[in-house]
Amino acid sequence: MEVTLLGTGDTTGTPTVGCDCATCQRAADPGEELREQLREQGATMTAGGGVERTRFSVHVRNEQTDESLLVDFSPDFRRQFLREEVPLPDAAIVTHIHFDHLDGLGNVYRLCDTLDVHAADETDPVTGASVAETVADDYAYLDQVSVEPQSPFESFELCGFDVQLVPVEHPPLLCYGLAIEEPQTGAKLSLSGDSSYHLSEQARATLADPDLFLADAIVPAHLCEYHPKGGRHHDDAGVPRTFGDKHMTREGALSLAEQLGADRTRLVHASHFYPADEAFEQPLAVDGERYQL
């Protein structure tokens, strides 16, 4: 299983358009010492020598079947695929309907002859439709796309992988993490999806013991004081593991990773609100990282 992190940023990405904060400036010009460190961890440099966290997307290639699975359709789809030179997907999964995870689907026009897109079949009480139904309705003009509803916690085969959608907490909409296993090798990739720290025991059990865990970590915990809702799910030391009510803090993501027994953890969906001196510390991921499981 080859995992390529196409997009590791939040809804605005880093650098953020029109922003001159110290973190966005450091992403654009990391300096040679940090640039070399980021190269060593697999970062893809821009033409100007900067690094990016474009909107979230993950490419997973099954080396046993030579098939590729795409998790979420970033608005930066075109740039990501050109930059990383990975194969176009044979199938895809949409975790939820927020634009930074879905709006890149239109990019498959004229690129894919057929594409099965898998998504959850649970009806969202807010929208009155499941993720699968919303994707099918919003992209009905794409004749080559077939939307396949899937039930959470029920394993299905996709690109030779065993896949499960895992319900997580990302109010107000339904959202899902993923457990992806390669049955021949036993390699396992788990993704938290956009999620708070609060997961059910069944969700934790399904995500447990991954070789690689990709965890939503939008900000460090100390920034919760700036959120109108503050922080939630505090640990014994009073550190908030959820920022507001939608995303994990860095500390929450690392705590969850430890509880899941992850062999390796990369923090994704990171925002440009990380202070510049923290924004590229390990284990925060950047675009272009590639892992062999």
pLDDT less than 50: residues of the chain: none
pLDDT score at 181: 98
Q: What does the block give as tokens for 39?
A: 């190269």
pLDDT score at 12: 98
pLDDT score at 250: 98
Long-range contacts (CB closer than 8 Å, 24 or more residues apart) made by 132-140: 134/97, 135/94, 135/97, 135/102, 135/105, 138/97, 138/102, 139/105, 139/106
pLDDT score at 134: 98
CATH number of the CATH domain containing 258: 3.60.15.10
pLDDT score at 44: 93
Tally the domains of the chain.
Answer: 1
Domain that holds residue 41: 2-292
Task: Using a cut of 0.75, tell me whether the model's pTM lies above it.
Answer: yes
Q: How far is CA 274 from CA 21, 33, 60, 255, 277, in A?
A: 10, 19, 27, 18, 8
The predicted-structure confidence for 177-230, as pLDDT tens digits, reads as follows 999 999 999 999 999 999 999 999 999 999 999 999 999 999 999 999 999 999
pLDDT score at 18: 96
pLDDT score at 163: 98
